Structure 1
């Protein structure tokens, strides 16, 4: 949302069969234009079968589109077994479908489910950067540590992802100023290095949790507070991307 507000043409690809991001943004579109009842006839999975993702794109607002997911996307791994012989080819295929979309957008964001599968492997292979969201609890900390090792050992070393780098870790507090949250954050600094943790932290905000029900709203100071936080997240993303591009070795 914030990227589009900065006149950056943005596409969100929802690769989670639970379709939480899709539902959030369709409700948001309804908030932006209350006269329009938002539905879609063609899911991401249907677009993949037709080898044409353009026809599944839904416009949410100026400079913001989404490729919507639905429950049928859970069939993607099984479908790819019938389409490609090797697992490597299955991992690479989604990247081939996304490639034509890059000319139209400044940013393509991919939302993935919290489990490792062909879906996550394909998304990571297609990506330049991975942003890891860390909830401040021990289980999430252990999961982030294992996921980073998986990215390096499997997606980069085994699948040979051509451009993937970990952009950083974005902490999300479960409870503001809670001892467990603070302790988890301190452990993250020690494990990953403070320089790899985003300086901006997403704190527990009731308005943010309400968006799951209402979609993103633009009504009052509580909405503006959330938008300000995510503006700072985008600032840091831009800063980190520029630093990584600057530090890339010359060919």
Structure 2
């Protein structure tokens, strides 16, 4: 019963204790992600600057629309964040252009993107945040800039 709202029920009980609650989901549209959408005020969609992930973005946005209609009418899309971007390639530039053409009128696409980096990949293996692993690298700087960009709207 009401399995889509289990996380929302819990978050409502602790919401006053926090300024922000971030829910990071795996890239799938399973029950955990639906629970996160039901509990969230907004969604920041991150997508790799690759053909297949961008193609799957349409299904994700449709799912967010369904959740908005049926479970959480207050859910909004904060924006789209491009990750693992190799800005040196024409391929990445083309993906960015296609994304802006397809969604730029309706959904904010963050100016800051997260560049591809071996240093960032190493953090997963070490189980550390990028700020602990290499706080001066380009990825750490990009995440700091993204935070500023998101908070500008507050």
* Common fold by TM > 0.5: yes
Give the secondary structure class of the aligned counterpart of 1:123: helix
Q: 1:209 to 1:150 in 2, by over 3 A?
A: same
Distance, in Å, in 1 between the alignment partners of 2:84 and 2:39 is 29
In the alignment, structure 1 residue 131 sits paired with structure 2 residue 7: no
CA RMSD of aligned residues (A): 1.9
Aligned to 1:227: 140
**Structure 1 residue 114 displacement after superposition:** 1.3
Instruction: Figure out how many residues of one structure are paired with residues of the other and give that number.
Output: 151
In the alignment, structure 1 residue 188 sits paired with structure 2 residue 129: no
Distance, in Å, in 1 between the alignment partners of 2:93 and 2:82 is 11
Aligned to 1:156: 68
In the alignment, structure 1 residue 107 sits paired with structure 2 residue 14: no
- CA deviation map 1:144-176 (0-9, x unaligned): 122112211x101122x0421000000113434
Structure having the higher Rg:
1
Distance, in Å, in 2 between the alignment partners of 1:134 and 1:217 is 19
Distance, in Å, in 1 between the alignment partners of 2:32 and 2:132 is 36
Normalised to the residue count of structure 2, the TM-score between the two structures is 0.88
Distance, in Å, in 1 between the alignment partners of 2:131 and 2:102 is 38
**Structure 1 residue 93 displacement after superposition:** 2.2
Unaligned regions of 5+ residues in structure 1, if any? 1-83, 243-251
Aligned to 2:82: 171
**Structure 1 residue 187 displacement after superposition:** 0.1
Contact 1:207 1:223 in 2 (8 A): no
Identify the structure with bigger relative contact order (alpha carbons < 8 Å, sequence gap 6+).
Answer: 1
Q: Post-superposition, which runs of at least 4 consecutive aligned residues in structure 1 deviate over 6 A?
A: none
In the alignment, structure 1 residue 117 sits paired with structure 2 residue 24: no
Contact 1:125 1:162 in 2 (8 A): no
